[in-house]
Amino acid sequence: MVLLLATSAAALLTALGAVPLPAGNARPRLVGLAEATAAGFMLGVSHLLLTVGLGEQEFNTVLGAAAGALYTLLVQWYAGTTGYEVPDDLEPSQPGDSTVVRELLQSSLHSAAEGIAIGIAFVIEPRLGLLLALVLGLHNIGEGLAIADVLDRAGVPRRQAAGLCVVAKLSQVLFALATFAMSPVLARLPAVASGFAAGALAFLVLTELLPDAYRKAPKIGIAGLATAAAAIVVLLEDSLV
């Protein structure tokens, strides 16, 4: 199915992020900027989903968004990733260490939310789903860079890191398919579903991507890249609709 191909492509793009991992002092800054770009893309997607939902039913969309944000908060709390920050002076250690596990867990949760968003978009309108897969794929490059950075600092060999990134992203494909399978249910509540995805993604940006970025890169770069990335998505969605 088209959905399977699209989400797989998006997931694979994450591996791309692991490739250009630069060395040296500039790295935290670059990673931070990459995260900011990823954040911008995600915010753009969130905006798109909100717009779609609000076009249908306003209150339900906001309700869905609140549910999505709350759901993400609960998942973060349960998985112990709330307020979790990778220490700056991370020493190389054995893979399977708690840092690596946590990082991959967090990434999987991200991917799950993204997968849900793509799935919902596909249910609403296939072209919308493709657009989301494209933008989230681009976003994944930035995320992949960030993940690879953490893994590398934890001592995971380069190639293994790239592979682990993709594995973490597989939940995206899974959840996208699962969500799509629920389409009869979702089709009756498109606004709530749309809002849910929007809220979950936005909450991820606010609680994970942005704070991480601010710790690494200058805020003007972050603000600039995030705004630019979101603007690109906004323009893209306009050309679609």
Partner 1 sequence: MMGLDLSTWPPVLVVAVMGLVTALATGLGAIPFAFIRRIDERLVARADTLAAGLMLGASFGLLQEGRNHGMVQTVIGGLIGAVFIVVGERLLSDREVNFGEVSGAGAKEILLLLGVMTLHSFSEGVAVGVAFGGGQQLATLITVAIAIHNIPEGLAISALMYPKGTSVWRCAGWSIFSSLPQPLMAVPAFLFVEWFRPVLPYGLGFAAGAMVFMVLFEILPEAYESLGRASVGVHVSVAFGAMVLFQQLVG
In Å, what is the CA distance from 57 to each residue of 120, 123, 161, 176? 16, 17, 43, 23
Contact characters 55-94, partner 1, x per CB under 8 A: ---xx--x--xx--x---x--xx----xx-----------
Cα–Cα distance, 147 to 198 (Å, whole number): 23
Distance (Å, whole) CA 187 – CA 33: 37
Contacts of 210 (CB under 8 A, 6+ apart): 35, 36, 39, 222, 226
Question: What are the tokens at 21?
Answer: 């991992």
Q: Which is nearer to partner 1, 77 or 159 (CB)?
A: 77
Contacts of partner 1 in 93-132 (CB under 8 A): none
* Position 238 contacts partner 1 (CB under 8 A): yes
Which CB, 44 or 115, lies closer to partner 1? 44
Please tell me the distance from the alpha carbon of residue 166 to that of residue 137, in angstroms, as a whole number: 12
DSSP H/E element including 88: none
| Binding segment (CB under 8 A) for partner 1, from list 25-33, 153-161, 180-188, 221-229 | 221-229
Q: Which is nearer to partner 1, 125 or 166 (CB)?
A: 125
Of 41, 175, 196, 203, the one binding partner 1 (CB under 8 A) is 203
Which parts of this chain interact with partner 1 (CB under 8 A)? 47, 50-51, 54, 58-59, 62, 65-66, 69, 73, 76-77, 82-83, 199, 202-203, 206-208, 210-211, 214, 219-220, 222-224, 226-228, 230-231, 234-235, 238
